[in-house]
Amino acid sequence: MKFRIFAIVIALIAASSLWAHHSTTAVFDMGKKVQVTGTLNRVEWINPHISIYVDAKGEHGVDAWHFEGSPPAWFRRVGVNKNDIAKAQGQMITVDGVRAKDGTLYGYLQKITFADGSSLETVSAGQIPEK
């Protein structure tokens, strides 16, 4: 009996982990390019993907965008840490990405351009759809 309950708990944990991680093409429209310029509000450096939050001027005030990026391990492999992005908090940045299929203010991060003109691309140039 205890083994059966333990097996069910393990199965539920595994299922929730799979549910949390998703394919970028399942959530984002890879052909729907978006470019947002605004203030970097927050950086979350957690698995399975980093998130950045950008407040941009919208049609009716401020649009609060959420961009999901590659996993923290990917950034570490290319020599980028949280502080490299977080140092721009409160500053204007431009984010290039693709928009969520549901049309919300949610996107997949492909490039960040900082106020000083430096940038970080998270995909190779051939993977970024033309505007």
- Structural domains in the chain plus CATH codes: 24-127 (2.40.50.1010)
Write a three-state SS string for 20-55. HCCCHHHHEEEEEEEEEEEEEEEEECCCCCCEEEEE
pLDDT in tens, 35-92: 999 999 999 999 999 999 999 999 999 999 999 999 999 999 999 999 999 999 999 9
User: What does the pLDDT read at residue 22?
Assistant: 54
pTM: 0.76
Nearest to 96 by CA among 77, 109, 115: 109
Distances in Å between the alpha carbon of 15 and those of 4, 8, 71? Answer: 16, 10, 20
Instruction: Return the pLDDT at 67.
Output: 98
Fill in the amino acid letter for 38. Answer: G
Q: pLDDT, tens digit, for every residue of 17-37?
A: 333 445 787 899 999 999 999
